[in-house]
Homo-oligomer: A and B are copies of this chain.
Amino acid sequence: MAASPQRYRRACDYLAAAMIYLRDNELLREPLEVRHLKPRLLGHWGTCPGITYLYAGLNRLRDPRTLLVTGPGHGAPAIHANLWLEGTHERFDPALSRDGAGLRELVRRFSWPGGFPSHLSPEVPGVVHEGGELGYALATAFGAVLDKPDLRAVCLVGDGEAETGPTAGSWHGHKFLDPARDGTVLPVLHLNGYRIAAPTVFGCMTDHELLDYFRGCGWSPKVVDATTAADPDELLAQTLRLAWDTPLAKPMIVMRTQKGWGAPAHDAAGAPLAGTFRAHQVPLANVHDDPAELRLLERWLRSYEPDDLFDQDGNPAPDLLEDLPGLGMLPEANGGALRRDLPLPDLAPFAAEGPASPTGTAGGWLAQLMRDTEDERDFRVVCPDELESNKLGAVLEATDRAFTPHVPGYSEHVSPGGRVMEVLSEHLCQGWLQGYLLTGRHGLFPCYEAFASIVDSMVNQHAKFLKVSAEVPWREPVASLNYLLSSEGWRQEHNGYSHQGPGFINNVLTKKASVARVYLPPDANSLLVVLEHCLASTGRINVVVAGKNEAPCWMDLDTARAHCAAGAGTWEWAGTGGPPQVVLGCAGGIPTVETLAAAHLLREHAPDLRVQVVNVVDLLALAPADRHPHGMAAADFDRLFPPEVPVVMGFHGYPSAVHEVLHGRADTQRFHVHGYHEEGTTTTPYDLLVDNGMSRHDLAADAVRRAGGPPGVVDRLLGERDRIRALAHRDGEDPAEITGWTWSA
């Protein structure tokens, strides 16, 4: 017969405490001495008993289609204890066998160099969410159950985490789930009343307020108060059973437990521990130096009666192992193993043959991809209410925006089964997509460029998850996280300064070279090629920046393929030929237009100047090959940017991004990068370019200057610039000579 929940929890709590404190004598077969202690006590006891309380309750449901998303990832010891008893650990690593040797290994490995980190992490089976940075568990859980109608995600949200904005915004997530096609999420708000040093906001709310709050969000909340229940396990089991039986009622649970439940009431100095913030991390921190505290620890650990739980060889009592569904073994938690390659449509029918909106062109192809995945339902688009304004509206001809509540007024393309997830929250979009990708599916995140920085820190954490996952032997690669940044700053001259910010690139460049990719396709066809590449890739964070306004299409599809494969290349047709006196480099849609216009201006104003035009699609191709896997060989780099020749570069983002990527290349001082300098307001596109020194006239003038050309030409070009800018200020729009410019060879 299976152990009672109390007894099961006693085993897990003992193991969790042992992981935090012990390096030896892990079953307390001897009196506890300092030499048995880990030299550094790294862990968080406070949330562990509550995690196991829930885990034990979930075990009783015996539903192996349960995904536990643990918000308080610092409570890792509790999860480890459960994974070990249920045999998940053993399955992924035989050294963690369910016997004395495995127990010893588990206890020692926790928070030890080369062992398990102190928080949940990709090394731990069953984990799709790290929890080190709080706020994203709930959104991740919602993403995980999309298009998995038989899956139940239980999301434990700590009352600290509940204070974060992203979590507060996530409670509405069920409104985007389709009861017919998606799974369900059962949120469990874990109220233990304290953060690391102070009471929590939710811990100070009355039950009445809590119930109101969650009812307002559309849930049917129940309070499970383990601090007052006669039989806490039975109460939780009944509540969970009810939730399992009535998913359409949107059940959620407010679960109260004592902080650090089971820890001593006071430390050796008399300070209160259990039930206070002092139990958050290591409740008895002076065990190495204070014999009285060491005795307290021993008494506490022995209170779990380890001899009653483990036999003399350290094998757990058989009843502890019975009837455990093995939640950590859920296949979705190693989603890469379930992932199929997307059936990417042929690009040819969608290729542009003349001026085209890059994102508009991509929208047609993405719509086809949406249709081609309608049966499998393993591709989604998340977007903060910007799909149409980013000219990707064609996708809405293939599917709707997902939303289940009754819409009281007029709407278009909104229905429960839609596979576009629009919400005015970059955080939710990102969290949903992370959950979706980590459980083996694919997606795209189109976003206003400036507002992608809202999720900088989430990207940081996802990049870490990907980096570590690649080092875990049993983790299969998941689909890349793909951003399509449109409504680029250069064409946010209408929304103004707040909407201009290309810094997302800079943040992604700080990520591991094995993970980070930045693409700046200059036209519609190269965008198609880049998207095809990104959606077929795994384990990366791909940032694709592309315009939405109609723009010249510089390359046919085949040319675009070759160009994108190389990462960067000389556009012979745009230069003068001959050994260049100056290279005009460009990266990004608008800078490419301006650079080509500059080349054109130079033909007229400085016809003897030998110019080479180089377009860069893959920003990291500029990096030295020893710093990034996409870095071009030095010889190739020198062909594009011949040594000693000055380079005037029009770059889409902050020039610093190019500067840092170039570091390590020879003679970088000859690169003069024009880009966004944080000058902007509501004005005309040309005026915005001029304010940042990025107009065609600025680029052409700088090229003449750097090549040592006549100052008179520079003055003429800048005079031309000022004349045009004055027209724009007078008329409120750019003159046709600028907007109507088209390339002529």
Contacts and interface: CB of A to CB of B under 8 A. Distances in A.
Nearest to A659: B663
A203 interface: yes
A682 B117 CA distance: 5
Contacts of A199: 403, 407-409, 411, 414
Interface in A657-692: 657, 659-660, 662-664, 666, 668-669, 677-678, 681-684, 687
Given A164-B424, A169-B169, A215-B209, A453 B450 contact: no
Contacts of A9: none
A385 interface: yes
B405 A204 contact: yes
A457 B464 contact: no
Contacts of A532: none
Contact of A407 (B118, B135, B204, B453): B204
- 3 closest A-B pairs (Cβ-Cβ)? A132-B498, A213-B216, A165-B165
A559 interface: no
- Sorting the interface of chain A by its residue count into under 10, 10 to 19, 20 to 34 or 35 or more gives 35 or more
Nearest to A278: B410
A256 B637 CA distance: 60
Interface string A496-540: 111101010011011110000000000000000000000000000
A729 interface: yes
Contacts of A114: 683, 729
A339 interface: no
A315 interface: no
A423 interface: yes
Contacts of A272: 410
Interface stretch (A38-46, A237-245, A712-720): A38-46
A22 to B, nearest CB: 11
Given A39-B731, A163-B424, A196-B385, 18 more contacts: A114-B683, A118-B494, A121-B498, A132-B496, A160-B385, A164-B424, A172-B201, A199-B408, A204-B408, A212-B215, A213-B217, A450-B457, A454-B456, A454-B457, A456-B507, A510-B678, A660-B660, A663-B663
Interface of A: 23, 38-40, 42, 73-74, 111-119, 121, 130-135, 160-161, 163-172, 175, 193-201, 203-205, 209-218, 272, 275-277, 385-389, 401, 403, 405-414, 422-425, 427-428, 450-451, 453-454, 456-457, 460-461, 463-464, 467-468, 494-499, 501, 503, 506-507, 509-512, 654, 656-657, 659-660, 662-664, 666, 668-669, 677-678, 681-684, 687, 728-729, 731-733
Nearest to A663: B659
Given A211-B216, A494-B42, A165 B411 contact: no
Contact of A133 (B115, B389, B498, B669): B498
A682 B388 CA distance: 44
A187 to B, nearest CB: 14
Nearest to A665: B669
Given A388-B197, A499-B132, A510 B656 contact: yes
A395 to B, nearest CB: 12
Contacts of A197: 385, 387-389, 422
Contacts of A210: 216
Nearest to A498: B132
Contact of A453 (B406, B498, B507): B507
A414 B732 contact: no
Contacts of A111: 494, 682
17 contacts: A39-B731, A40-B684, A42-B494, A121-B681, A161-B424, A175-B201, A197-B389, A198-B401, A199-B403, A199-B409, A204-B406, A276-B410, A453-B456, A454-B457, A512-B677, A659-B663, A666-B669
B663 A117 contact: no
Nearest to A159: B424
A254 to B, nearest CB: 11
B38 A732 contact: yes
A577 B422 CA distance: 63
A667 to B, nearest CB: 8
Contacts of A501: 457, 460
Nearest to A400: B198
A678 B497 contact: no
A425 B164 contact: yes
A133 B450 contact: yes
Contacts of A463: 678
B172 A163 contact: yes
A687 B112 CA distance: 11
Contacts of A407: 199, 204
A496 B134 contact: no
A5 to B, nearest CB: 25
A210 B213 CA distance: 9
A169 B512 CA distance: 32
A678 B117 contact: no
Contacts of A499: 132-133
A649 to B, nearest CB: 12
